[in-house]
Amino acid sequence: MGDKDMTASELSCQHAVAEPCHLLAEARGKRHELVSRGRWREADVLVERALRETLRDAHAVRAPDLADLTYVPGARMLGSAEGDGRFGYSTAARAGAVRALLLANRGLNRAEAVRQAGIVLGSPGRNDIGGFWAAVLTLIYANELAGANGACARAATVAQWSRSALHRDALALLRGRIWAASGKVPKAVSVFGRVRRERDASPELVGVAAAWHAEALSAVGEHRQAYIALHESGFDGAGTSHPERAQLLAARSAAHLAAGNFRLGLEDALASGECVGMWGVHNPAVLPWRSRAAVCASGLGRTEFAAVLARQEHELARRWGTKRARGIALNALGIAQRDDAGGIEAVREAEALLSGAPDTLELTKVRFGLGCLLLSLGRREQAEGFLSAAADTELRPWSAHAAATLRRMADGHWTPSLTEQEKKVARLALAGRTNKEVATGLHLTARTVEFHLSNTYRKLGISGREELVTAALLVG
C-alpha cells in the first residue's frame, strides 16, 4: 500500500514520534485528499489525532500550524499570532476550538460541540483570538446565542480587546453575527458595515466582513447596497483562490435572490456549497446553501431539483437539531412543493418551529410566504391571518410586503388570475432574463412581452420587476 492510500490510523502510527508541527502539516495535506474521496470520518480522525499529539508538546507548535485543519469563516484567524507581539496565543484553546468546529461542520453532535466550545471559553486561553473566534462561532451555529453573547460581553471587559485591531474587529463581527441570528438584522448591518469601512480593518477579517455585510443587507431587502458592498471591497468576482470564497459566493447568492435573479442566485449558491463541501461541511447551520439554492431552483420551475436539495438540507438540519436550521429547510421544501398538499404542511411546520426560535425576521419571512401560498390556493381567510401576523412585526422588508398584500386584498385584488402565457413570461423575468431574451425564448415580440408583464404587475398589485420577487409565490 502506498502512502497515498494510507488510512488515518496508519498515518498516526507511522508518525507517532514525529514533531507536532509535522503531524499537523501531514493532517492538512491528507485531510483534503480524504475528503475529496468521500472519506470524511477518516479525515476528521486524522486531525483529531494530530491535535492530541500537539497538546503533548504544545510549546513546539506555532499559531500557523493550527490553521487550515477545518473550515471556518475568517480562515486566517486560526493561524493568527498577533503581529505586534503583545498578546500570545494558546495552543490548547485553538486545538479545542478546532475540535468543536469539526463537530459543528459535520453536524454530528451538537451537545459535544457546545461542550468543547464551552471548555475553550472557560479556559485560561479564552482570550486567545483564534480559539475565541472559533468557539463563539460554534455556539452561534448551535443557536446557543445567550452563551455566545455572554462570552463576547466578558471579552469586552478585557483590556487587550480594545488595544488590538484584530480583537476589536473579531468581537464586533461576532456580535453582529449574533444579532443577525436573533433577527436584529439592522443592527448587524450597521456593525458589519462599520468593520468593513475601518481604516485599520484587520486584513484577516476584511473578506468575511464584506460577505456578512452584503448578506445582512440582502436580508433586509437592500440588494443594491449588497452589490455595492461586494464591489467596493473588490470581491464581486470572488476568484477561486480567495480564502473567503464560500462566504462571498453565499452573500452574492443572497443578493441575487433578493433582487429576484434566481438563475444567478442558484449558480452562486451551488458554487458556495461546492466550496464548503471540499472541507466536508454538511451542517446547514454553518452555510444553508441548499435551501437558498432550492428557493432559486423553485423560482426557475425546477421543482424536483429544488425538493431534493431541500429534503437533503432538512435531514442534515434534523440531525444537527436546531429549530432555526430545520425551519429554514422546511420553508424551502414547502416552496418547492407548493403545488402539493405537502407543501403547505411543510411551511406550516417551518412556521411552528421558527415561532420557538429567536430569529423573528426569518419567522416574518416564512409567515409572508405562507400567506401568499394560501392566497394562491384561494384560502383567503387563513392567508389573512399569517399576512397580518407578518405585517404586525414591522420587520422590513417582509412586513411591508405583507402589509401591501393585505391592502390589495382589501381592494378586492386578492387572487391574481394570471394566464399561462403571463406566468411563463413572469417566470423568465424572475430568472433574470431581459425582455428581449424573454421574447426570443417564447417566440414573441418585445412589445407582447411588455404587454404581458404590464398585465402581470397590475394583477399582482406591484410596480415592476423590482417587486416581482416579493410576489413570486403568487405567480405559481
- List the domains of the chain with CATH numbers: 62-287 (1.25.40), 416-476 (1.10.10.10)
| Residue 179 CA: distances (Å) to CA of 7, 96, 170, 190, 257 | 42, 25, 14, 11, 22
Cell of residue 272, nine digits: 458556495
| Residue 236 CA: distances (Å) to CA of 202, 209, 361, 412, 430 | 20, 14, 26, 43, 21
CB 126 within 8 A of CB 156: no
Distance CA 387, CA 372 (A): 8
| Residue 170 CA: distances (Å) to CA of 181, 192, 196, 242, 425 | 17, 11, 12, 19, 46
Cell of residue 216, nine digits: 445582512
At residue 219's C-alpha, the angle toward residues 192 and 288, to 5°, is 95
Give the global pTM: 0.84
Distance CA 67, CA 174 (A): 19
Q: H helices then E strands: how many in the chain?
A: 26, 0
DSSP structural state of residue 59? G
Distance CA 134, CA 243 (A): 16
Is the preceding peptide bond at 288 cis, omega within 30 degrees of 0? Answer: no
- Helix-, strand-, coil-residue percentages of the chain, each rounded to 5: 70, 0, 30
- Residue corresponding to grid cell 402581470: 456
pLDDT in tens for each of the 476 residues of the chain? 444 454 545 444 444 445 777 777 777 778 878 877 778 778 878 777 877 777 666 666 676 777 778 899 998 887 776 533 344 567 778 888 888 998 999 998 999 999 999 999 998 888 888 889 999 999 999 999 999 999 999 998 886 676 788 889 999 999 999 999 988 899 999 999 999 888 888 888 989 999 999 999 999 888 889 999 988 877 766 555 778 889 999 999 999 988 878 889 999 999 999 999 888 899 999 999 999 999 889 888 788 999 999 999 999 999 999 999 999 999 999 888 877 777 889 989 999 998 876 668 888 888 988 888 888 777 888 888 998 988 888 788 888 888 888 887 787 665 667 777 877 777 777 666 777 887 888 888 888 877 877 777 776 666 666 566 666 665 65
